[in-house]
Amino acid sequence: MEYLWAPWRMEYIKEKKSDECIFCVLPPENDDAKNRILYRGSACFVIINVYPYSNGHLMVTPYRHLPCLTQANQDEMRETAALLQKSIEILRGEFNADGFNVGYNIGKSAGAGFDEHIHAHIVPRWTGDTNFMPVLSEVKVHPEHIQATYDRLIPHFKKLTL
């Protein structure tokens, strides 16, 4: 039998779970390194997904608590689009991603984990990145700790201007 080690998962197992919206609660804490917020714009921010589909999985979300894109104003839509574009450029350069999945899950039935606060996902992809692990054992393997991912990306986002 082989073992997969993921010691950082213990943080999640031990932490007290909350029903609060992370997209509303985390920005006012003003601890971007702890909360893995990479960029703060005037209407939206970029944050690392702490339960990523793949390394470098980011989310772009407005500060306002909105359940649907149809409620976003023009400033939020414009800044989201610009941050999606810039985030893809940064991820392509830093992670050499071959492609990206970009999109929204609007509503619980569409798979939204936080269905009351819209957020766009940016998931870097590489040729051959899907392997037997999820199929045979329902396990995803991430080659880099999430803090290392934050440390790699933050210098790029600190230089970002829209």
Which positions are catalytic?
119
H-helix or E-strand containing 134? helix 132-137
Helix, strand, coil: what percent of the chain each, to 5?
Answer: 40, 15, 45
Q: Are the beta carbons of 121 and 102 closer than 8 angstroms?
A: yes
d(CA 61, CA 106): 12
